[in-house]
Amino acid sequence: DTGVSQDPRHKITKRGQNVTFRCDPISEHNRLYWYRQTLGQGPEFLTYFQNEAQLEKSRLLSDRFSAERPKGSFSTLEIQRTEQGDSAMYLCASSPASGSAYNEQFFGPGTRLTVL
């Protein structure tokens, strides 16, 4: 296992279109996070899964955003009716359920979304 992977790495779409991103965490990690990062800012928390359960969701996450982790393994983040303000880097991170690395998040390379 080489780490957290995200697909696609880049996505260009037109305003109003729907987009879906995929994250594959490290296989033994049951905790999964999605973040959004814009230029000059740090990662901004979007949502958190423990196994297949979505336990936390940022109040900043509009109803156009939805995330799933159906089998407690990979996760998808969908943005409906994209807006230019959605242009950002979307990062996924995972961490183990216990152990010394419990609070250490392992990040993927991110998906860069550009909405035209």
Partner 1 sequence: DQQVKQNSPSLSVQEGRISILNCDYTNSMFDYFLWYKKYPAEGPTFLISISSIKDKNEDGRFTVFLNKSAKHLSLHIVPSQPGDSAVYFCAASGVTGNQFYFGTGTSLTVIP
- How far apart are CB 43 and partner 1 at their closest, in Å? 5
Question: Is residue 31 within the footprint of partner 1 (CB under 8 A)?
Answer: yes
Q: Which stretch binds partner 1 (CB under 8 A): 11-19, 60-68, 76-84, 97-105?
A: 97-105
Question: Is residue 91 within the footprint of partner 1 (CB under 8 A)?
Answer: yes
Taking a C-beta distance cutoff of 8 angstroms, is the pair 34, 98 a contact? no
List the end-to-end C-alpha distance of the chain, in Å, as a whole number. 35
Question: Is residue 55 within the footprint of partner 1 (CB under 8 A)?
Answer: yes
Structure tokens at 16: 């109003």
Position among 2, 14, 27, 42 found at the interface with partner 1 (CB under 8 A): 42
Element containing residue 50 per DSSP (H, E): strand 44-50
Position among 41, 51, 62, 114 found at the interface with partner 1 (CB under 8 A): 41
Question: Is residue 45 within the footprint of partner 1 (CB under 8 A)?
Answer: yes
The span from the CA of 60 to the CA of 7, in Å, is 23
Q: Which stretch binds partner 1 (CB under 8 A): 12-20, 61-69, 70-78, 87-95?
A: 87-95
The span from the CA of 50 to the CA of 63, in Å, is 21
Supply the DSSP symbol for 99.
S
Question: Is residue 40 within the footprint of partner 1 (CB under 8 A)?
Answer: yes
